[in-house]
Structure 1
Amino acid sequence: MIDNQAARKDTLRSAARWDALLRSEDVTEQEKQAHDAWLKADPAHTYAWQQVEKLRRQLQSVPGTASLNTLQLKQYQGHSRRAVLRSFALLAAGGAIGSLAWRQAPTQSWMASHRTARGERRKYSLADGTQLILNTATALDVVETSTARVIRLYEGEIFIRTSERAKKVAANKALQIRTEQGLVIPLGTVFTVRKQDMSTQVTVLEDEVELIPLSAGDKTQRIVAGEQAWMSTRNVKVANAAPQADSWTRDLLVVVDWPLSSLVAELSRYRKGVLRCDPSIAGLRVSGSFPIDDTGRALQAIANALPVKIDRLTHYWVTIKEVS
């Protein structure tokens, strides 16, 4: 059985080869037609092609990309060398051509080595005993270099508990969590990291964590147990942590005086399809514990506690409305 990760990488490599062929000086009409047929053969082909085009556009602003050695080029002698270099630079951007390229053209989440689907959570341990729990719809890679162990978080949320062994290893090889916004460095601790659209949210449950925004120079920000921070590429905003911010690791969503719209938005992370609430009731306040493994039961609990009803157009299209 072919591993899904390997299949995704093979599809992306095929897309890069097509990119090289279509950019060569001697591409034929028959080859263009063959490319069209390849795109139509599988939706995954179309998606991979879109990612190659997107990465190529993003790399235009990156000064310098990885080159290929002679052996790599020999198998593509029929294509323009320059076109091949461009295409394989795109693939390299999805891996490791340096921090600048990773920032501007990060590995797409669908190629990540560790992933969870919508509503799924999964446990994972690093070689040093550090424990990870991946929340719903999370994608990350774990990369070890000579000086660091790097968790590259592309989307979603993770819970991290460093082990005693990890604290000793950290003296020589620091653990880092890297997002588009910057670095999160644990100082022997328990914490969560959540990738949001324009920021990285970090909640510290034990000890301390150091945050280093991408464009902040040498400026760092430490946050301690009981604090929560939102890191952009330039700064860090700190506040008190929400109660039981890690409740999702226990299969619950615990909320205290939340607007209904916020609760619905959180529940929708664990449910396939569309889940929304009518604007007229979005501001209703709610507190309680809601099961994230059974969002249907969570919705019924909301209906029992508030003057609302659950309107199901289909199983995948649900709206919470005011009781008329």
Structure 2
Amino acid sequence: MWLLRQQDGWSTEDAAACEAWLQTDPAHRRAFDRLRDVCQTLAQLPADRVGQLRKQIAPPAVRVSPRPVGVRRQVSPKRRALPYALAALGLVAIVGGGGWLRWSHLQNQPIFVETYATARGQQLSVTLPDGSSLQLDTATTTAVSLYRHRREVRLLEGQALFTVTPDAAKPFEVDAGPLRATVVGTRFSVRHTHAGLGGDGVTVTVDEGRVHVSSRADTADGKAQPMVALNADESVHSDAAGRLGPRQALPARTAMLWREGRVNLNNVPLSQALAEFERYGDTRLRLDPAVAGLRISGSFELEQAGAFAKALPRVLPVRLRAREGATEIVPAN
């Protein structure tokens, strides 16, 4: 049913309803992806192979209900072709032989695979063959796989900005820990870190367009979590287990200040703030556990950890103490 709707053209509401159905049971997504891949593969069969399949697949019988004289039922070409594809599903294993299986396997292999990574303190911008671009922040690793019918990126660690070239026939998916962000064409960022701002979790922030965010983690009662649809200047965060928080309004520029070498701290624990600076290089700052929970706000240069430390005694009850080549941040008294 969902494939029929998709082929005939569907609305945003249809896409959301389909995603909700896919999340109710992992078997739904596997079956949907399998049928979609087969239908798309059949559409790319060479002409001689199509002729062979047509000879071996008889048109399915159709029961026609009586209708008033002069009323003609309109059936789209794509909808008319789908029964052949469904029939071919059962036929693939017996009529194709080894050649068909090899050809089908080839069609479902990625046509582009690459890994991009940055070291601590580095950033990197890359353009993919489809025209989409990635901007990687410090200590970030991504694995890119482009297929004939979809585009996939695994964000293994760090954060990146994705500017996606629109292509409705090839959804762009970013997997980060327990979350998946799916788009057709948009601009958004994904953060998947174990320290620093946000702690150990995943954050998706949209700059332009619309992004669907889903989690592979179930709720406490074993049900699939609902998909979250994000618009521009909206964000959602999950913990390390994939439990999604509420959708929040967040100016995208604030979440992407790292591209300008800055960070905006908004009432965050001092321990998290220092961990964020540490992601970009050795700060030589040491934090006394007694002041780790103090909260700090402000905008700072990520490569100026020393200036950040010097500002702390003016806004927090702390003092700086030099010790063994490092600077300790300790209680003022």
Does the alignment reach a TM-score above 0.5?
yes
Q: 1:137-216 alignment to 2 at 5 Å? A: 137-162=139-164, 166-167=165-166, 170-197=167-194, 199-215=201-217
Q: 1:45-64 alignment to 2 at 5 Å? A: none
Tell me by how many angstroms 1:153 deviates.
Answer: 1.0
Distance change in 2, residues 1:239/1:264 (3 Å): farther
Give the TM-score, by structure 1 length.
0.56
Identify unmatched segments of 5+ residues in structure 2. 1-113, 195-199, 219-223
Code of the aligned partner of 2:276: E
Tell me by how many angstroms 1:288 deviates.
Answer: 1.6
8 Å CA contact 1:271–1:295 kept in 2: the answer is no
Q: Distance in 1 between matches of 2:313 and 2:242?
A: 42
SS of equivalent to 2:259: helix
Q: Distance in 1 between matches of 2:142 and 2:330?
A: 37
Q: CA RMSD in A?
A: 2.9
Deviation per residue, 1:96-142 (Å, 9 max, x gap): xxxxxxxxxxxxxxxx8211111222212222332321111111111
Distance change in 2, residues 1:269/1:314 (3 Å): farther
Distance change in 2, residues 1:121/1:303 (3 Å): farther
Q: Which moved more, 1:246-255 or 1:174-183?
A: 174-183
Code of the aligned partner of 1:207: G
Distance change in 2, residues 1:158/1:289 (3 Å): same
1:229 paired to 2:226: no
Deviation per residue, 1:161-211 (Å, 9 max, x gap): 23xxx11xx212121112331421134322211114564221122222111
> Match for residue 65 of structure 2?
none
Q: Distance in 1 between matches of 2:225 and 2:305?
A: 44
8 Å CA contact 1:118–1:272 kept in 2: the answer is no
1:279 paired to 2:289: yes
Q: 1:255-294 alignment to 2 at 5 Å? A: 255-272=265-282, 275-294=285-304
Q: Distance in 2 between matches of 1:299 and 1:177?
A: 36
8 Å CA contact 2:283–2:306 kept in 1: the answer is no
1:308 paired to 2:315: no
Figure out how many residues of one structure are paired with residues of the other and give that number.
208
Deviation per residue, 1:14-58 (Å, 9 max, x gap): xxxxxxxxxxxxxxxxxxxxxxxxxxxxxxxxxxxxxxxxxxxxx
Q: Distance in 2 between matches of 1:307 and 1:122?
A: 38
Q: Distance in 1 between matches of 2:241 and 2:169?
A: 27
Q: Distance in 2 between matches of 1:246 and 1:174?
A: 24
SS of equivalent to 1:236: coil
> Match for residue 124 of structure 2?
122
Distance change in 2, residues 1:118/1:207 (3 Å): same
Distance change in 2, residues 1:281/1:145 (3 Å): same
Tell me by how many angstroms 1:155 deviates.
Answer: 0.7
Structure with greater Cα Rg:
2
Q: What percentage of aligned pairs have identical amino acids?
A: 29
Q: Distance in 2 between matches of 1:235 and 1:285?
A: 25
